[in-house]
Amino acid sequence: MGSSILPPFLLSVLLFSLFQIPVHAAKNSYIVYLGAQPHVLDPSSVDLDSVTHSHYNLLGSVLGSNEMAQEAIFYSYNRNINGFAAILDDEEAAQIARDPNVLSVFPNRGRKLHTTRSWDFLGLEENGEVRRGSIWKKAQFGANTIIGNLDTGVWPESKSFSDEGIGPIPSKWRGICQLDTKNGSHCNRKLIGARYFSKGYLAYASTVNSSAAKTIQPNARDFGGHGSHTLSTAAGNFVPRASVFGNGNGTAKGGSPKARVAAYKVCWPPINGNECFDADIMAAFDAAISDGVDVLSVSLGGEAAEFFSDGIAIGSFHAVKKGISVVSSAGNSGPTPGTVSNVSPWLLTVGASTIDREFSSYVALGNKKHLKGASLSSGALPSKMFYPLISAVDAKAANASSSDAQLCKAGSLEKKKVEGKILVCIRGENARADKGQQAVLAGAVGMILVNDKLSGNEILADPHLLPTSHVNYSDGKAVFAYIKSTKTPVAYLTRVKTEVGAKPAPFMASFSSRGPNTIEQSILKPDITAPGVSIIAAYTGAEGPTDQKFDKRRVSFNTESGTSMSCPHVSGIVGLLKTLHPSWSPAAIKSAIMTTARKRDNNKEAMQDSSKARATPFAYGAGHVQPNRAMDPGLVYDLTTDDYLNFLCARGYNATLLKVFSNEPHTCPKAYSLADFNYPSITVPDLHDKPVTVTRRVKNVGSPGTYVVHIKEPAGVSVSVKPSSLQFKTIGEEKKFKVVLKPKAQGTQDYVFGELNWSDGKHNISLVLQSFIVYLGAHSHGPDPSSVDLDSVRKFHYDFLGSFLRSNKSAKDVIFYSYTRHINGFAAILEEEEAADIAEHPNVISVFLNKGSRLETTRSWNFLGLEGNGLIPSHSIWMKARLGEDTIIANIDTGVWPESKSFSDEGLGPVPSKWRGICQHDTKRVRCNRKLIGTRYFNNGLAMYAGPLNSSFSTARDYDGHGSHTLATAAGNFVPGVSVFGNGNGTAKGGSPRARVAAYKVCWPPYEGVQCFDADVLAAFDAAISDGVDIISVSLGGGAQEFFKNSISIGAFHAVKHGIVVVSAAGNAGPDPGTVLNLSPWLLTVGAGTIDREFTSYVSLGNKKHLKGVSLSAKGLPSEKYYPLVSAAEAKHANASTTEAIICQGGTLDPRKVKGKILVCLREYNDNARTEKSWQADMAGAVGMILVNDEQSGNDVVADPHVLLVSHVNYTDGKYIFDYIKSTKTPMAYLTRVKTELGSKPAPFVATFSSRGPNLLEQGILKPDIIAPGVSIIAAYTEAAGPTSQISDTRRVPFNVQTGSSMACPHASGIAGLLRTLHPDWSPAAIKSAIMTTATTQDDSMEPILDDSSYAKATPFAYGSGHIQPNKAIDPGLVYNLTTLDYLNFLCARGYNQTMIKSFSNSTYKCSKSFSLADFNYPSISVPNLSEDSVTINRKVTNVGSPGTYKVHVKEPSEVEVLVKPRRLKFKRIGEVKMFKVILKAKVKGKPQGYVFGELIWSDGSHYVKSPLAVKHY
């Protein structure tokens, strides 16, 4: 062969394998690889014939004739790959290997297949809604990218491959369709190609005399399910209501759901464990490259092999050379080290990890021990009772061995011993599903599958034939120990339940193959990890879900686990990146995915192995894939074909063979080493006494900027980088850097791991830096700190953080907020591990991410009784509280439009002397006055995510409208003559119209769907407390985080401690239970209800049916006549899907079908905005629109300021409209002009969107606390945006209508302002109690308040204590008061330690041993744990009214007995406090199982002090 192309050792191994000739010279199938083809991408038939003929000539020279060569060759690779596959004996193979034109000769080896909440887990969607910053939206769901899949074929009838709504096939496609047309199955515009390759399989079968090959069908149909599953994971359509036996129900979809797909069938029924042969795989690569694919997904693999002896390595090199990204699975041979396969540097190799969804079946043992297992069994136990439990060893057949029996192998179990029992089997050797089958055959009613020690904690949900629970090794030991401990062991298995939000996730799957790379240790493999456990995707209709012959069940979707499942996740993501960045090379895409990966789980801890040990890069590579971050990596490590050839040079391949390999001249550089190969990860397998220098180069693919290096050194290794900063001025600019690694001491025997990160503050290459808030509690200085005090705190923050970062300078560089006045803490850019280290410090209360919050979006004061027909009655709280005069109300929101008449200072006196705030100088000329006394803006938290901000962000001016609306609702002036397009005409005013106001802007244009960041919110609270405000209104909401990890909770505590009332929005995620936000007991949390005003537009149909809708459209119909009526589904563009057209998504409507008609659009929960639909209707030429609710939206209709006449109708009326359209060939309709209707009944009812309880953080606290008007509220607005907030809306209005708990919150804030003016000595808790205990639970028809979503009777989980009644709150009689000490006791009872609480409050504090949550003096009572015994609740009330005697009245919750002691309370003076006990006991054992509700009322005949009761059995 001339000079060696391999290192000597590798060469000797290869030659040894070729020259050991057996006695009988048996024939085998071999692949002869000759390199690259010299011809162009589209060769003629003459070119192809010429190449094939050259193959015959070459082999004929060895075999003696071209005819013999023609008989032996079964594949001629003649398009992109140059070579052939042939039946040869070993001597013939060795002889042809000596030819100088031959790169390699290797056996046609067999390979194995490596066998959807996942996209939600990866951040592409949230609760079924595509997030605004999702790569799905930006990459158009991968539209028209072509993804090929080398696997078992495809099941074309699956809905995942339907072409409904998909346009023409891309013109670049050159492939064919080889499906079984006799069954009527063809390719389509989604599934654009299918091929099969079986010659290599058949050749192998002939050499081993296997009969398996005789049963295969010559087409690309998938009879195994694996190929359909992987292909749909990569690029399957959106398919709603997908589940496996009712579990995991949701919408199935692939990573690139709008991509086109092509199936290349290379895998067939196993022969000796092998399914997919190299000869077929190479033929598939050769075809796919010519067909025009963009991405190839290859969920196959075998043992790692030298690159020129590996069919996948060779095929993928030629694909990558043509710009095709190739993604492969890492293998399922873990957790053993060195098992990773597909190790070529041009491949993107994917390991497997878990997601946060589990399919759980719990094991209940007779000793009351409960163990969590996994399963996807289709059935449940016959009865809800305990069954006898038996170990498979104890149930063995007489002639079976114990070792076979414990594994539940076929024929090893005795039916008489098993029948009617739950059988315990150990995992191993035979398939998990086969063990279930053996249990069924033996008569078991259920099975517990127990892991062996090697399998550890890795449990898998399989679709077993009988009820099964798969438990981990330690729980399995507990099961066996229990069986041995008793003569009559029994157990019960719960029905399978889908559980979402599991923690920790991800962790590495035990089966996922591990590094190091045994072929080239300097290349770290795997490259990345992705979801690969219990993945639901499309399946074949030819096999049962267990893939066992005995399984006759059929499913459209199935769950599978393996790196085969993780590979197509990344393939789908690569498809999105191809769509988004078509000019990026495969290496650039790979780099973007690797350098933006994360290594933390959803507990913010380091990722673990299934053994719960900390995982390493040999398990996860660069980390867990983050698709949204990969869109904009900042820098990439790019590689060209020359780089790969240089890599092979450094590996020992000679230039002559490399030229043949690439079909281009290539000279090996003399100085090149593997340390110079520009891979995104760095592996140094040979660090000895001398330093090792690694060279890398990065290319800028983002905005200009300066990147600074951050290093996390491996243990015992010194790392330096030169230069330490890189400045980029243009896109495409490249910079080099060197990494010098030096051992600190001798003797490092094993791999150690570190990290290198380049960051410009926004992009973090390799390591994710994030902004965190470090919360240290309260300050020791007084309420008016001096500048020296503030500087001292700031210096302490630098010193403290500097102790972790090694210098104060580093701390100063990363801290962007130092909270110095009332809140003690700082916000800084940190690595996750740095944040975790800081969190361990004893002086730190909490460390949490600078998360984002969302904004939660006036006849109302008349409806609340503060005025009547424009006149203020004498008993009104407005009259008594002087309209909130000189109370200061702060609003943390989007800022303020200062020119609004709502904030004019006409007629107001001087600014109150207690005010210490400022009117922050800004770039947009915001001016304060005697009404609007202060403005500030906070945007450092946003900047940490979005990057440097320009001067337009240096302002408190409101460009959104939300902040002006909420502030005016709380405390706007009386402004007469206000309307929205002539509707709702009247006088606008806030709850405290004579109060002073201050705007704290923390919310900005959305960044990745988030507008308000925690760090900014906390800074606003700190400033507002110092400024001297009385009320803080916060119409924002994030998640339900623990109290010390939530900026609103922390800021509100410090405010309440200083006597400031904080009012917050409950959220807009209703009507789902458990969605309520802002859960801290010191917050007043407000849900949304309706008022008795409606903006109506009636729909008149051609059949004379009249339906009531709502709207605030500015226009009427062009003429008072009936217009043609058309459903949006029937008006769709030819290339649009029906599902998108029916909701009137952008670009889906055909103007020819819409023009001059009234269009009917469907509103789906969390789809495109309601006003966006009317924009689409208007652009398509509609004269009007009817907006119809889906079933989930129910009766929740909203009056929006549409651009054309619209009527929004409920679900029932919408169904009627669709039925009418179907009933006639000429449907017609008319819409009346919008009319304002007052006095509507019933009102209030709870708005559908208003978030509901229970409180998921602490069920002993009922939330929301109250409801207030939040639907169709008119208030001040910005004049920088149109009333719909759509960019295309050029209309401007000084007042606008908005809906949301954001609107309800400032109603309560305004009322709190009135109570503060009237009762300046009342604590925030007393004001809150007065509002809650005087609320009403009846509507204006004197019936119980209804739930808008269903018209059913609402519960306290919807309305809290009820609907707010301001005039009653003036004089509540009694209040449930709370002090700071009470809140600290509450935290003690929650499990916080007293050291932490002392820091929180900055006061001496000792946890009370006797205090429990039942003693916390909250105005409502929630008992989530009513046990077999009674529960006693302690409360105390303070008299704030006249002396008198109060008697108790109880409305008992169903099935609960309630006793109050004493039943009378006598008060002689104001301020007197009395205690009472409430004893609750279940009337029936074990009930109530769900929450039931009641009410406790103290009354003296004049006052009615009401507390809701919510009770559930534990």
pLDDT tens digits for range 746-756? 655 678 888 88
Q: What is the pLDDT of residue 990?
A: 93
Residue-averaged pLDDT of the chain: 87
- Answer yes or no: is pLDDT of 38 > 80: no
In what helix (H) or strand (E) does residue 33 lie, and over which residues does it extend? Answer: strand 27-36
pLDDT tens, position by position, 1349-1369: 677 899 999 999 999 999 999
- Answer yes or no: is pLDDT of 18 > 50: no
- Answer yes or no: is pLDDT of 1169 > 90: no
How far is Cα 151 from Cα 225, in angstroms, rounded to an integer? Answer: 10
Residues 6 or more apart whose Cβ sits within 8 Å of residue 1226: 1102, 1124
Judge residue 207's burial from the number of C-beta atoms within 10 Å of its C-beta, 0-12 exposed, 13-18 middle, 19 or more buried: middle
Side by side, the strands of the sheet bearing 717-722 are 635-636, 692-700, 734-743, 717-722
- Answer yes or no: is pLDDT of 12 > 80: no
Q: What is the pLDDT of residue 3?
A: 30
* DSSP H helices in 1319-1430: 1324-1333, 1356-1359, 1366-1369, 1380-1389, 1394-1401
Establish how many alpha carbons lie within 13 A of residue 265's alpha carbon, considering only the half-sphere containing its beta carbon: 30
DSSP one-letter string for 1376-1405:
----HHHHHHHHHHTT--HHHHHHHHTS--
pLDDT-derived band at 20 (thresholds 50, 70, 90) equals: very low
Of the listed ranges 77-91, 419-433, 625-639, 658-672, the least confidently predicted one is 658-672
Q: What is the pLDDT of residue 112?
A: 59
Residue showing tokens 């193979």: 93
Distances (CA, A) of 1091 to 411, 446, 1233: 72, 56, 21
User: Which letter does DSSP use for residue 1363 in this model?
Assistant: B
> Which pairing describes strands 852-855 and 692-700: parallel, antiparallel, or unpaired?
unpaired
pLDDT tens, position by position, 1049-1060: 888 998 999 999
- Answer yes or no: is pLDDT of 25 > 60: no
Percent residues over pLDDT 70 in the chain: 94
Cα-Cα-Cα-Cα torsion 1385, 1386, 1390, 1396, nearest 10 degrees, comes to -50
Residues 6 or more apart whose Cβ sits within 8 Å of residue 1110: 1094, 1095, 1096, 1097, 1197, 1198, 1199, 1207, 1208, 1272
Tell me the residue ranges of DSSP E strands in 1066-1115.
Answer: 1084-1089, 1093-1101, 1106-1110
Is residue 1266 classed as helix, strand or coil in its secondary structure? strand
**Maximum average pLDDT range among 93-102, 922-931, 1089-1098:** 1089-1098
Mean pLDDT (whole number) for 308-334: 91
- Answer yes or no: is pLDDT of 282 > 80: yes
Establish how many alpha carbons lie within 13 A of residue 1372's alpha carbon, considering only the half-sphere containing its beta carbon: 32
* DSSP H helices in 378-472: 402-406, 415-418, 432-441
CB distance 691 to 742 below 8 Å? yes
Amino acid at 159: K
Q: What is the pLDDT of residue 148?
A: 97
CB distance 1447 to 1498 below 8 Å? yes
Residues 6 or more apart whose Cβ sits within 8 Å of residue 794: 818, 820
* Nearest of 115, 193, 116 to residue 153 by alpha carbon: 193
Q: pTM for the whole thing?
A: 0.60
Q: What is the pLDDT of residue 436?
A: 92
Distances (CA, A) of 765 to 636, 693, 805: 8, 20, 19
pLDDT tens, position by position, 492-531: 999 888 888 888 889 999 899 999 999 998 999 999 999 9
User: Which letter does DSSP use for residue 362 in this model?
Assistant: E
pLDDT-derived band at 613 (thresholds 50, 70, 90) equals: confident
CB distance 1020 to 937 below 8 Å? no
Higher pLDDT, 767 or 806: 806
> How far, in whole angstroms, is CA 1167 from its chain's centroid?
17
Q: What is the pLDDT of residue 10?
A: 25
pLDDT-derived band at 1084 (thresholds 50, 70, 90) equals: very high
Q: What is the pLDDT of residue 801?
A: 93
pLDDT tens, position by position, 841-865: 888 888 887 776 655 545 677 877 7
How far is Cα 826 from Cα 805, in angstroms, rounded to an integer? Answer: 15
* DSSP H helices in 1028-1121: 1047-1057
How far is Cα 878 from Cα 1358, in angstroms, rounded to an integer? Answer: 28
| Tokens (6 digits) for 593 | 């995915």
pLDDT tens, position by position, 1418-1451: 999 999 988 778 899 999 999 999 999 999 999 9
Mean pLDDT (whole number) for 899-919: 93
pLDDT tens, position by position, 1367-1405: 999 999 999 999 999 999 999 888 887 777 777 777 777
Residues 6 or more apart whose Cβ sits within 8 Å of residue 814: 801, 805, 828, 829, 830
pLDDT tens, position by position, 543-580: 888 777 777 788 888 888 899 999 999 999 999 999 99
Establish how many alpha carbons lie within 13 A of residue 254's alpha carbon, considering only the half-sphere containing its beta carbon: 38
Establish how many alpha carbons lie within 13 A of residue 997's alpha carbon, considering only the half-sphere containing its beta carbon: 37
Higher pLDDT, 781 or 366: 366
**Maximum average pLDDT range among 104-108, 117-121, 272-276, 1322-1326:** 1322-1326
Peptide bond into 873 cis (omega under 30): no
CB distance 305 to 313 below 8 Å? yes
Higher pLDDT, 242 or 1214: 1214
How far is Cα 1292 from Cα 1282, in angstroms, rounded to an integer? Answer: 5
- Answer yes or no: is pLDDT of 970 > 90: yes
How far is Cα 611 from Cα 850, in angstroms, rounded to an integer? Answer: 31
Q: Please identify every residue annotated as catalytic.
A: 151, 226, 564
* Nearest of 998, 993, 1027 to residue 898 by alpha carbon: 998
CB distance 849 to 1008 below 8 Å? no
Residues 6 or more apart whose Cβ sits within 8 Å of residue 727: 705, 706, 707
> Which pairing describes strands 260-265 and 191-196: parallel, antiparallel, or unpaired?
parallel
Is residue 887 classed as helix, strand or coil in its secondary structure? coil
| Tokens (6 digits) for 612 | 């719960």
Task: Give the end-to-end CA distance of the chain in Å, rounded to a whole number.
Answer: 79
pLDDT tens, position by position, 181-206: 556 568 999 999 999 998 888 888 88
Residues 6 or more apart whose Cβ sits within 8 Å of residue 54: none
Tell me the residue ranges of DSSP E strands in 631-768.
Answer: 635-636, 692-700, 705-712, 717-722, 725-728, 734-743, 755-759, 764-765
How far is Cα 589 from Cα 578, in angstroms, rounded to an integer? Answer: 8
How far is Cα 501 from Cα 1112, in angstroms, rounded to an integer? Answer: 40
- Answer yes or no: is pLDDT of 124 > 80: no
Mean pLDDT (whole number) for 35-57: 80
Amino acid at 599: K
- Answer yes or no: is pLDDT of 251 > 90: no
| Tokens (6 digits) for 1382 | 């009470």
